[in-house]
Chain A
Amino acid sequence: MSEIITITSGKGGVGKTTAIASLGIALASRGQKVVCVDGDIGLRNLDVIMGLENRIVYDIVDVVEGRCRLRQAMIRDKRLPGLFLIPAAQTRDKMAVSPSDMMRLGDELRHEVDWVLIDSPAGIERGFKNAIAPADRVLVLTNPEISAVRDADRVIGILEAEEKGTPSLILNRVNPGMVKRQEMLSPDDVLDLLAIDLIGVVPEDQSVLIAANRGAPIALDKESRAGQAFHNIAARLMGEDIPFMDLEEKGGLWSRISKFAGRN
């Protein structure tokens, strides 16, 4: 019973690739077999975020065009048993792969792993269409920024129109101090605007950039707040009922984020 999950956002730079890498780590650390697929052909990045850039031989276009077998393109992450990456091609463009190619690839991957995590490129064009085609479930990721929320709403509308069902929301890079000072949209505000279910709130955390510098996804650092948040999302994907993290840093008065759980 494997599941194909695509993370998409409309807007670029909100943290899709970071989320895919960390959810891959988090699911694999729970004993799951996982493959992360980079859907951003021409602008590949999941390889560097996962720290696997030096091990690429074949990529997704090689698989689709039959130059290698599926397993040859699955790079094993040696840090965890059961974690793999299928990199995007860097010298091709999105038109090299079609939505039906992706459906076929997805069906083949179901036989190999428990979870297929697809990193969608930004935008709502071919690359996005490719990424959502095989998905059983779509997660829309956004930041509490006005442009990111607007783009997320557009993407949710397209997913509904394409009968992909209503996606769940990951709200990334929430700064609790700014929310407290009412200078940043709160998780409650964003949920009210987008009107979909919440699956995770990830606090803004400088260790995310440091982890990316090192090619060690933030979920490998279980001490970090962002890493914990991704482990919580992985647990929720596996059907566990995990309360939402208290974003308050040290003993403040801000009410617990767990109240948002009531909205689901």
Chain B
Amino acid sequence: MSFFKRMTRSKKKSAQSAKERLQLVLTHDRTDMTPAQLDALKDELIEVISRHIDIDPDAVNIDIAREGREQRLIADIPLKANARRRGR
């Protein structure tokens, strides 16, 4: 019985699925932005920044963060080590 219980527990509970799905859907509802539009925004941001400074596009992390009912666009853009020297 306990083995059976452990087996069923290993599957994610439906409340957790509901919460995770809602977190995503609410983020897009609130910003009125589809995931595809957010991707387009990321690509354009990377392109603009790359024109001025050397960055590693694969290391860039741009996402919408929630804090209460406030949402913010967070961009974490690591610069390449020699970026400043080469830029000037």
Contacts and interface: CB of A to CB of B under 8 A. Distances in A.
A160 interface: yes
Contact of A184 (B15, B21, B26, B68): B15
A182 interface: yes
Q: How many A residues are at the interface, by size bracket?
A: 20 to 34
Contacts of B51: none
A183 B22 contact: no
Contact of B16 (A150, A182, A195): A182
A55 to B, nearest CB: 42
A185 interface: yes
Interface string B30-55: 10000000000000000000000000
Contact of A195 (B13, B18, B25, B69): B69
A149 interface: yes
Contacts of B22: 146, 149-150, 185, 193
B69 A193 contact: no
A138 to B, nearest CB: 14
Counting chain B CB atoms within 10 Å of each CB, which of A153, A156, A196 scores highest?
A153
B15 A183 contact: yes
Contacts of A189: 15, 18-19
Counting chain A CB atoms within 10 Å of each CB, which of B13, B19, B25, B68 scores highest?
B19
Interface string A185-205: 110010011111000000000
Contacts of A149: 22
Nearest to A149: B22
Nearest to B32: A157
A146 B17 CA distance: 10
Given A189-B15, A193-B22, A193-B23, A150 B29 contact: yes
Interface residues of B, number: 16
Contacts of A183: 13-15
Nearest to A154: B29
Nearest to B67: A195
Contacts of A182: 13-16
Contact of A179 (B15, B19, B23, B66): B15
A88 B22 CA distance: 34
A193 B13 contact: no
A166 interface: yes
A193 B24 CA distance: 10
B23 A185 contact: no
Interface string A154-165: 101100100000
A166 B69 CA distance: 10
Contact of A193 (B14, B16, B19): B19
The 4 closest A-B pairs by CB, nearest first: A182-B13, A195-B68, A195-B69, A182-B15
8 contacts: A153-B30, A157-B29, A166-B69, A179-B15, A182-B14, A183-B15, A185-B18, A193-B23
